[in-house]
């Protein structure tokens, strides 16, 4: 019996049940334990004030280290580059579409939104890019799961919102997206669209069970993105995006660092064959061009 730890949101449930089904097809019996995390409980403050994106993992990792669950299922974009002692990432599933999606109440694409329209998102990365690309729009905070965010849009609190296309697709709501945003122009979060599996460091049994689920191409792409993130020391308190794609024998990595108000933004692109070197190299390029000042507290 493999005990899977997961958050309880609809999207997290889909991801956990997806992994459960993949393991069941390989003959493994699994049971899902839904765990409420700090990030789920605290909805009235910004994530960086309650531990950053790691706030969506903390209680699940504690349950794993306590022997209460054996395998954690996470959205990779929520996973910090530094993990607690005793746990490790043991597989990365094939990535879904990593792009951000605009959902507009009137079905109007991003470029055609009327001046003064309000876009909802609490992601500093998305806020920065919206303000840099369309300084004539208003940006307002928006927390909650996918269903909550879409409901707030329908209630008229926003003219449009920005969500991960992968989340909409997994919940069967991709048709609600007005448009998928170009990842070269509107750069996704590192790891966006990928599901990561985490287990105890010494648990060879669980690691072996999930090994066939590991997708090498996705792993290489997200390793480049997360290598850049680690080299810059960025987290959810810094507007930062990174998107890697496989182009023949190489990886192409696009990234940016900016200010939340969109007033300053440094972009870069680099190609290479080694994911770690590629991420670190592009991070050095960005720092040399002024990203360090944007990363300073």
Which pLDDT tens digit goes with each residue over 165-180? Answer: 999 999 999 999 999 9
Tell me the H-state helices in the chain: 10-24, 38-41, 58-65, 124-133, 146-154, 165-170, 204-210, 216-232, 275-286, 292-295
Residue 50's pLDDT band (cuts 50, 70, 90): very low
pLDDT of residue 234: 64
CATH of domain 100-180: 3.40.190.10
Residue 233's pLDDT band (cuts 50, 70, 90): confident
Instruction: Indicate whether 54 pLDDT > 80.
Output: no
Q: What are the tens digits of pLDDT across the range 32-43?
A: 999 987 766 555
Note the pTM of the prediction, 2 decimals: 0.91
pLDDT of residue 36: 86
Pinpoint the residues of the chain covered by CATH 3.30.160.40.
Answer: 223-295
Residue 49's pLDDT band (cuts 50, 70, 90): very low
pLDDT of residue 275: 98
The average confidence (pLDDT) of the chain is 92
Instruction: Indicate whether 47 pLDDT > 70.
Output: no
The domain defined by 2-93+194-214 carries CATH number 3.40.190.10: yes
Residue 143's pLDDT band (cuts 50, 70, 90): confident
Q: Choose the catalytic residue: 78, 100, 112, 136.
A: 78
pLDDT of residue 18: 98
CB neighbours (10 Å) of residue 289? 12
Instruction: Indicate whether 184 pLDDT > 90.
Output: yes
78 is catalytic: yes
Answer left, alpha or beta for residue 290, where phi above 0 means left and psi between -120 and 50 means alpha: left
The domain defined by 223-295 carries CATH number 3.30.160.40: yes
pLDDT of residue 43: 53
Pinpoint the residues of the chain covered by CATH 3.40.190.10.
Answer: 2-93+194-214, 100-180
SS3 169: helix
- Measured distance CA(29)–CA(11) in Å, rounded: 22
CB neighbours (10 Å) of residue 148? 14
Q: Do residues 119 and 162 make contact, with C-beta atoms less than 8 angstroms apart? A: yes
- Measured distance CA(122)–CA(237) in Å, rounded: 11
pLDDT of residue 65: 95
Q: What are the tens digits of pLDDT across the range 93-125?
A: 999 999 999 999 999 999 999 999 999 998 999
Instruction: Indicate whether 206 pLDDT > 70.
Output: yes
Length of the chain: 297
């Amino acid at each position: 019996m493999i005990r899977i730890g997961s958050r309880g949101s609809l999207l997290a449930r889909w991801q956990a049940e997806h992994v459960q089904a993949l393991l069941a097809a390989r003959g493994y019996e699994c049971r899902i334990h839904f765990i409420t995390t700090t990030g789920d409980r605290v909805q009235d403050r910004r994530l960086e004030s309650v531990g950053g994106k790691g706030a969506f993992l903390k209680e699940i990792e504690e349950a794993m280290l306590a022997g209460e669950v054996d395998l954690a299922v996470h959205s990779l974009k929520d996973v910090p580059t530094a993990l607690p002692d005793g746990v490790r990432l043991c597989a990365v599933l094939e990535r879904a579409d990593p792009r951000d999606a605009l959902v507009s109440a009137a079905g109007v694409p991003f470029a055609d939104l009327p001046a003064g329209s309000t876009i909802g998102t609490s992601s500093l990365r998305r806020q920065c890019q919206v303000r840099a690309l369309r300084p004539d729009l208003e940006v307002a905070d928006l927390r909650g799961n996918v269903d909550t965010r879409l409901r707030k849009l329908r209630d008229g609190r926003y003219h449009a919102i920005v969500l991960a296309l992968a989340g909409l697709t997994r919940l069967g709501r991709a048709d609600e997206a007005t448009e998928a945003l170009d990842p070269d122009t509107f750069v996704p979060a590192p790891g966006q669209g990928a599901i990561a599996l985490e287990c105890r460091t010494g648990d060879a049994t669980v690691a072996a069970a999930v090994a066939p689920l590991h997708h090498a191409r996705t792993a290489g792409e997200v390793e480049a993105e997360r290598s850049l993130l680690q080299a810059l020391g960025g987290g959810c308190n810094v507007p930062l995006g990174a998107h890697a794609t496989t182009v023949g024998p190489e990886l192409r990595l696009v990234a940016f660092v900016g200010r939340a108000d969109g007033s300053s933004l440094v972009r870069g692109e680099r190609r290479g064959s080694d994911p770690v070197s590629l991420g670190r190299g592009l991070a050095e390029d960005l720092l040399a061009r002024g990203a360090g000042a944007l990363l300073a507290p």
